Amino acid sequence: MSDWRDELSDDERERLEPADPPEWIAPMLATLTDKRFSDPGWIYERKLDGERLLAFRNGSDVKLLTRNRKNAAATYPELIEALERQPVDDFVIDGEAVAFDGKVSSFSRLQQRMQVDDAQKARDSDVAVYFYVFDLPHLEGHSLDKLPLRTRKTLLKTLFDFDDTFRFTPHRNEDGEGYFEQACEKGWEGVIAKRADSAYRHSRSRDWLKFKCGHGQELVIGGFTEPQGERVGFGALLVGVYEDDELRYAGKVGTGYDDDFLADFRERLDELATDDCPFAETPSESGATWVEPKYVGEFGFTEWTDDGKLRHPRFLGLRRDKNPTDVVREAPDG
């Protein structure tokens, strides 16, 4: 293999920084916006509804970590194997684990794998998982943070071997508005717009923007109500977001669960039951059981009401890649 550095411009080679294989890097995060635009200085990627993962390889040592540093190797053993097959043995790759329902990425379907922590059970699962990779912040003893995004993506595409499991995330140039319309027509989550010459920043940035087709976000679970009639487990989850270091109540969610989840999650909630309401202001929900706010879920809804509550919310799945105290109301920026 030729030296990839020979393909860089003089300016790009000067931007390279020597770096040992990192144990961890914070991922770059996108900012939600309600503005759609087309710009030749930007690229546009499909927004996938999966679990964000960072892949680390240092020789024979391969790790898959969620964005809050949880080890996902036993959940996705086939992704570990795909990383071990790569011709490069010193890298950090940014990407997303995805499962599909037809041609649409499905976080609900991925849930069946996210809750598995045994590699053999994961291999026996009928839920196929794919790793869509879109950035390369570290490569062979160098930090690529200061290289332009287009260059990082080119290196990723040319130096790695892609197959059915390990997939490169393609992008569209310039036509962000058209791509967004196409995404929504196809039932996708939306589009991620990225400034083509942007550096890789280890924080949330306006160099990456989210164009969402629908409303949805993470919410912290702070309680539940009892089931009624023939329902098992619980009736609804009581959820909220953090604001000024306090958990603010955002409403109750009673739809989106199957019976297996209702029964299993009730057992886990019972272990966290507490007499103290975790919300800053106690909701007026009769018969509520409060729990320590340890779990984060993904929820869809139609809109926020004027008093900060969710309208027509539905449960999509549990998240393990975000700390509860990081969950805030996600509002369009700009």
Active site residues: 47
Alpha-carbon gap, residue 123 to 119, rounded angstroms? 6
What are the backbone angles phi and psi of residue 50, rounded to the nearest 5°?
Answer: -140, -150
CA 62 from centroid of its chain's CA atoms: 20
The helix (run of H) or strand (run of E) holding residue 156 is helix 149-159
Whose CA is closest to 248, among 310, 323, 298, 319? 310
H helix count then E strand count, the chain: 7, 22
Torsion (CA) 309, 311, 317, 323 in degrees, nearest 10: -20
C-beta separation of 247 from 279 below 8 A = yes
Secondary structure of residue 254 in the 3-state scheme? coil
**Quick one: DSSP state of residue 5?**
G
Alpha-carbon gap, residue 135 to 91, rounded angstroms? 11
